[in-house]
Structure formats: structure tokens, C-alpha cells
Structure 1
């Protein structure tokens, strides 16, 4: 449909959230690859190749849009995207320590709150926003969200005490919670990068990009993500001497190496798709655009919990611990409904 349509917008957010909640799963399909090798290729597709191709295809005169955009806007969007690059790294490592459901619940719960508050602080409208209609409801929703994050942490520490000794080396709630927290904070920063880059999207809209206008600014922010990750993981790969895994000189069969590249590329494309559909949903939300971030984040937690169940991450815990997780997710879900409702007042 042409023009704003919140129901259609929510549908786009759902597709994007489903993509985001599954983008790390392809790693489990790779063979004889380290996390470093996988992450470098996934990052290349997630933050450079996929968003660049999408921008070129969907934004008329894309390079002219970039040329006409303010250098200060471009650089600030790029640098803030780079800050999120550290968050992306933290998120990836967190899933290895505490699994998908906990990582998403903690980091995305924090992101939903910070991604809503930080742009208001930057614009200097924080106090006035909470004083307007629905502001008190949003503030209450944020407090509930933080309670939900705390309960998720509690469930994780309970799980750590209950899992068998054989799995102790794989599961570390302390490390995972710290990494997920960093990821959540910096994920909120990525939303700021997108807010700062809005003039680029506005220019793309004038060029006829329509509902695809956000693709013009996305590549600027994700390029910052890639640069940070490329430098970090290249240095790490040199130190650990596993960059050879990406070349024919490795002992990996060529067919396996080719499949590894395909799986990593697929994971990167899935990551990119979350913000491709986020952009579509954001535009379609019309006057409810401010609710986009929290709606998207709530759906992310829901789908990531389904992924966690499919991965059987909670099969060895007691009913009490599992109940704590369910309560935490219900609290988080409730907070997002409250935030969304408050944003629409």
C-alpha cells in the first residue's frame, strides 16, 4: 500500500526481527572454521556488501545522494556506527557464553530503553517528552523493562549453578551478562547513528526512494561497524594464526571451504535484512514512527526465545529456573507493550 500503514509497518518489523534472531545460527553449519574466520566474512556481507547493494538498487542516484549530503552528518553517522561495531562483537561472543535467548533478552531489553532515551537526550527533548501525553507511561515501561533484564540475569545465574560440570566451561553467566550489557548499550547507540543520518534518508526521499529512503543512511552506519570489526578480528586472526582458514592453503577441503563462505554470507545477509525491513516498517509507521524501535526490539526477544528453545538451551535446568526465565520474558514483553502504547499517545 502507498502511504503510512502501521499494521503493515508492524509486519515489516516482524520479518526484520525474525531475520535478526537467526543471523548467528549459520555459524553452527560451518566446519573447521574459527569464530574469527566466520565473523570476518559475515561482517563483510552484513555491513558492507549487502547494505551497499540494497542501497544502489533501491535509492535512485545513491552516490549522488551521498555526495550531496553533509560531511559532518556522514562522519558522525559513520563514527557512531563504529561504536556499535564493538557492540556487535560483544553480542556475538555473548551468545557463545550464555546462548541466544538470554543474550537477546538482556541486550535487546537494554537497547529498547536506551534506543528510545538517548536520541531524546541528544535533541534536548528528554524532559519535555516525558511531560507530554504518554510520557509517564513510557517512563513506567522503561522501568519495567529494566526489571525484566534483571530477572533474565537472575535466571542465567540460576542456570549456571544447575548445569553439569561438563558444560561449565561453555556457559559463563558473568562473562555473558557483561558482554550482553555492553552489546545492549551500544545497540542503542546504533539507533542514534540512524537518527543522526536521517538527513541522508530525507535527501534520498527527495530523489524518489520512497519507502526505501532509510537504505541510504544504513550503509553509512554499517560501514563504521565493519571497519571496527575488520581491524579487530584481522589483528586477532594474525595473533591466533587462523586467517589461513580463509584461504586454499588451509587443510579444509575446497567444497567445505566454499560452503563455509556461503553460510557466513547467509548469516551476514540475514543481519542486514533486519534493518532493511526495519527501515520499511519505520516509514510505514507514519506518525507512530517513534514506536518503531521498541516494537522491533520486542519482536526480536520473542523470536530469539523461540530460537533458544529450538537450540534446547534450557533443557537441563530446573522448573523453578525455567519459570524465572518465563516470568522475565513476560515482564519484558509487557514493558514493550507499555512502551509502544505510550509512544502512540
Structure 2
């Protein structure tokens, strides 16, 4: 493992990572929106698969860094915290999109199904926490099942996009997936842009992970709480930047799918955490605080799913109030459990 950095260089590294992520985020949104239009795959699928994967890269690398360093609580808290905080971003985005409730305007069966898939995927680590001694090599069997369930979930989302069995009621505030203006940039160059930005945010993720672990070492803070709050706030910035950029472009479905799809992808990061933690299953070492964080995040996701179904027409909706409150309550409960 690399030696921890001093405190102030770590803080400066985290600040620099913020700047880089902000720079890359808006460009990611434009590239993904044009790819969705040019390929015909739709904003929901593009946001879930391409944006979800690329914007999750900082969190993946941060998690792998923490797991290799042997810090189980930090490695698990980062992806779980990413799911929770990125859902909070939707409440913030409701304030940006003042015309109507964002979940109402971006009505999409694919997004609802992804929220259900996300809840199912997060149920698997709960089982792993309850059976920490089950192992295949040094990993838990759930680590293998999570990618399998994820791929099947993507298959279901694609089927829903191609052959939907029902559609949300269209209102005057509903914004459907519509093609944008035709641009001259080649599709190959668009894919290259997406890949290049992905590389930038991935390298940034390593910096965030190393700096976050160094902050823990220098301050003595709880690694689980630090991973759930500080480093997660930075690794989740691409989702926030992309979400706001998509809203400003009018690509509401793309923006919401980026958040939910990124959250689904973040569950895959739990498999990364267990795979890179070489001292046994990560669930046997993470501690009770990680289970508290996971339970709170499950509840936050359930409230989001309810908001997508209920579709309050105006304002931030009940989910816009409940989600930040549940996030704050989860942190408070985790701190009290230390």
C-alpha cells in the first residue's frame, strides 16, 4: 500500500479532484445525449449504461484503493454512500428544474424498473452480512451473484424499452425522449470522447481514494463515515454535474437515468470491494455501521421508487423532502452506532 499522504496535501488533492470532475461532467452529458440520439438506444438506456458506468468510475477506483489497503469499512461505505448521496442529488435537481416535479416530468418505465432492480441488488449484500463465513476462495458467493443479477436487470430494462407493456400518463409537464439537433461530429469521435473522459475520472478516483484514506489516517475519523460522506461527495459529483447539465439540455430522462443507472452500477462496486479485499470476505470485517448505512440506503431507494410511481406534479414532491431527511438520519444513526 502507498504510504498515507499528509493532511493538507490530501485536502488539496480532494479539491483538485472536484475541479477535474466538474470539468468532465458536463461534457459527459453532451456526449451521452448525442450517442443516445445517433444510435437510437434511448436516453434511459444511455443514461443507465454508458453514463452510469463512466460516472461510477471514480467510486470504483476509490473503493478498490480502500479494499487493497485493507480498510473494509471504507471500501463498502463508498459505493453505498454513492447510491444514497446520488439519490439526494435528484432532490437538489428538483430545485433546478422549477417547471415541474422532476420525477413527474421524466416519467419512464425503464427508470422505475431500474429502481426495482437496484433494491433487489442491494438485498444481496444484506444476505452476505448475515452469512459472513460463506466463502469461495477469499470472496463471498454474493460477489459473484451481483454481476449476474445486474446483467439480467439490464436485459429486462432493454426489453421494457423495446416492448413496453404500459406507459405513464402523459401530461403537459411530461418531457419525452426526443432527438436533439443533428451534429457533424462522427459517432467514432463521440465514443472516443466518452472513453477519454472515463479515463480522466478513473484516474481522479485513485487520487480521491488515496487522499480519503490519508484523511482518515491523519484525523482518526471513522473510515466508514468518511467513505459514506466525504469521499462519496466527491466521487458522486460526476452524477450531479451530468444531471444538472442534462436538465439544462432538456434531456430529463437521461439525467434521471444517469442517477438511477449509476446507482445500479455502484452495487457492482460492492463486488469490486470484496474481490480486492484479500483478507477474507469484506462483509465479515466491515462491522455493524456498514449494515446501518446499507439499510438506510435501501430505504432511500424505496422512497425514490415510490416517487417515480406517484409522480407529484408540482414542487419537489414528498420524495424530495424524505430522501435528504433519510440521508441525514442514516448518517446520525451510523455515528451513534460507532
TM-score bucket (shorter structure): 0.3 to 0.5
With normalisation by structure 2, the TM-score equals: 0.32
Please identify the structure whose Cα radius of gyration is greater. 1
